Chains A and B, each alone.
Chain A
Amino acid sequence: MPQTPAADAQASTEASFPAAVRDAAVAALIALGLSAPMMGLVPVQSPQGLVLEQRWAPVAIAVAVVFAGRLLLNLTLWRPGRVKRVGYVPPKLEAKLAGLARFLGPLAIAGAVAMPLLPFTERYAIDLGILVLTYVMLGWGLNIVVGLAGLLDLGYVAFYAVGAYSYALLAQYFGLSFWICLPLAGILAAFWGVILGFPVLRLRGDYLAIVTLAFGEIIRIVLLNWYWVTGGPNGISGIPRPSFFGIDFDRGPDGFAATFGLDYSPLHRILFLYYLILALALLTNFVTIRLRRLPIGRAWEALREDEIACRSLGINTVTTKLTAFAIGASFAGFAGSFFATRQGFISPESFVFMESAMILAIVVLGGMGSQFGVAIAAVVMIGGFELFREFSDYRMITFGLVMVLVMIWRPRGLVSSRSPSVFLKEKKAISGSLVQEGHG
């Protein structure tokens, strides 16, 4: 960004045109330096060992894009003298968005309930819906830890893994059914949440993030190497499918279709899975909203804003943090056992750091603490991922870039208003960027 002093600000746009071109040229030169070796020279395997192959077309494109983009930005958004709005969207718009959320919430739920029953919905759409809802649920679960309690957890996928493996192993070794394992998986994940949460209680912000990342990796490595229990990299296959409270979805005389006098259709199970995950996700949402009004929920939010003030006001930060970890983890555990029963096969491959980063991105980009924002982010990101399936090579690079750009554009996420859970007379939404956050 050209930081021209105030005197230059008066200069007209025309006068700054050569400067803009010069600046864009410098940027293009840097882009050339960055891309020429990395994109232009590619070592490829040949009979003589590695030799360099030259590919100058992508370099030229990259340099041209940087030059044009920078020039355009210099002439429009970064024009000297343009009054810059400081970091936040006008509170009015913010409040409007928050108000909209109140109507849109029930509408979205109604849409989600009705979606699979619409005549033109294909099976693919329902499958995609299941996937999106799984991430909505994970996002809401992580939102308790990150959005409400302000504890940055980069190893959330570990609890997802604990849930998935709990169900898979309990079903395999003890023959327990999905409905018994679901609460067990949640409890086990919560238990692990406490175990992992306990040592990191004293850590703050960034350190906490790295240690939780390390824990997530440790759990994955253990799953990968503990062959005789987890099957190592081969994973666990043949995980039992869910039943309709004991009635299987099969063609037999005791199957779901026969019991309810319907024609057998493989779609029944898919529909059931869809409504199951919808119910689980809504349960997560409901519990979170209710918890926010309890003392513990308010303690979480207070902890997020200022840990020292919390302690001086007599809030027990140990139990507050541990409950946040445990409750967030238990929802990941539920989602994990749902994942296991839906896939019928799990392996450590599904629980890599990228998954954690993805869930965290959903929470952060959606707006930490905002249930609605998280749901939108999950739909946009997971749905977007599916839409751009043909460009799958470019998915992750775009994802990384979007994460950076959204942080620069709106560091608080898309829906960043903070609606207070306790208020006098009138409920006012506050823009997140107006809140000074302590170092919790």
Chain B
Amino acid sequence: MEYFLQQLINGVTLGSIYGLIAIGYTMVYGIVGMINFAHGDVFMVGAFMALIVYLALVAIGITFVPLALLVVLIVAMALTALYGWTVERIAYRPLRGSFRLAPLISAIGMSIFLQNYVQLAQGARVKPLPPVVPGGHQFGAAEGFVVNISNVQILIVVTTVALMAIFTVIVAKTSLGRAQRACEQDRKMASLLGVDVDRTISLTFVMGAALASVAGLMYLLYYGVVDFYIGFVAGVKAFTAAVLGGIGSLPGAMLGGLLIGLIETFWSAYFSVEYKDVAAFSILAIVLIFLPSGLLGRPEVEKV
């Protein structure tokens, strides 16, 4: 029971990180209808940005952790969003309306480019960061079992929930959100009615990249190491989460992220650590075959 609860907490934490990345996939797929294969690498760039900004703050002398983290969050979001915007501008916008495989292949090229760019600029070795947010809480000592929740885990879950709430409001209430939903339904009609489609798509990429950078910061705080290769596996798993939750649906992405995080954690805890990626990838295949529209997604109608 104790072990189960502990794994549950770890799974929820991991799932929050996947969920944040998954939102980027799901929003882009909803509007442009393409898999942003480079999104996992944008997440990796975000993790590096968080590390660099944090170290820069330490160098300046800002060591009060909550303030430092807040500044890191905002600056890293802005810098990574710039990457997201540039990727869309260079690799995807010229290919809009091109034949269907072109953007995906361009995205794969972009993913390879980003990985090697970061490797060249930052070196191939892992960057270990000592724990920034120390400490934690213990529960259940009276009942005779001990479950640990670290402060980092609380921070991750709370931040994720807060950001989810903010982004849900943006999509549901603001004019940008309305434009996004319009583009999702019918891009041509939306542009005829005065929605700036290019701008809306750009902003979608910016939002996705900003959330990915938050996920990167969380990853950095949770694991304490980053390297240039973390984006690939995390990206595929987050994509799995987006598909599981129903691609195009924001709450779906979050739900899918949580489920993938839990499945992965429990699989490692009860079966084997080596095959945890196989578990996540198999889920992807199984979901796509038996439940192609995901848990909360709308079924796709094929028009002839």
Question: B275's contact among A42, A152, A221, by CB below 8 Å, is which?
Answer: A221
The answer, yes or no, to whether A402 is at the interface (CB within 8 Å) is: yes
Please tell me if the beta carbons of B277 and A211 are within 8 angstroms of each other in the complex: no
Given contacts A210-B239, A396-B116, contact A437 B99 (CB under 8 A): yes
A42–B55 CA distance with the chains assembled, in angstroms: 10
Q: Is the CB of A43 within 8 A of B302?
A: no
Are A214 and B285 in touch, CB under 8 angstroms?
A: yes
Q: Total contacts A to B, CB within 8 angstroms?
A: 178
Flag if A207 contacts B288 (CB, 8 Å).
yes
Tell me whether A251 is interfacial, beta carbon within 8 Å.
no
* Contact across chains for B112 and A221 when beta carbons are under 8 A apart: no
Expressed in whole angstroms, the minimum distance between the Cβ of A184 and any Cβ of chain B is: 26
Interfacial chain B residues near A400, Cβ < 8 Å: 109-116
Q: Does residue B190 face the partner (Cβ distance < 8 Å to A)?
A: no
**Beta-carbon contact of B100 and A437 below 8 Å:** yes
A residues near B127, Cβ cutoff 8 Å: 43, 50
The total of chain A residues at the interface (CB under 8 A) is: 64
Please indicate the chain B residues that have their CB under 8 angstroms from the CB of A295 in the complex. Answer: none
Once the chains bind, are B98 and A411 in contact (CB under 8 Å)? yes
**Would B111 and A308 count as touching, CB distance under 8 A?**
no
Provide the residues of chain B in CB contact with A43, threshold 8 Å: 51-52, 55, 122, 127
Binary A-proximity of B108-143 (CB < 8 A = 1, otherwise 0): 111111111110111101011110000000000000
Set A58, A203, A397, A407: member contacting B95, Cβ < 8 A: A407
Q: CB of A353 within 8 A of chain B?
A: yes
B292 within 8 A of A: yes
Interface status of B217 (Cβ within 8 A of chain A)? no
Contact: B117 with A397, CB < 8 Å?
Answer: yes
The 10 closest A-B pairs by CB, nearest first: A403-B109, A400-B113, A400-B112, A214-B281, A397-B116, A411-B102, A407-B106, A404-B109, A225-B274, A396-B116
On B, residues with C-beta under 8 Å from A are 34-35, 45, 48-49, 51-53, 55-56, 59, 79, 82-83, 86, 90-91, 94-95, 98-106, 108-118, 120-123, 125, 127-130, 232, 236, 239-240, 243, 272, 274-275, 277-278, 281-282, 284-285, 288-289, 292, 302, 304
Interface residues of A (CB under 8 A from B): 1, 30, 33-35, 37-39, 41-45, 49-52, 58, 87, 152, 154, 199-200, 202-203, 205-207, 209-211, 213-215, 217-218, 221-222, 224-225, 308, 353-354, 357, 360-361, 364, 368, 393-394, 396-397, 399-404, 407-408, 411-412, 437, 439
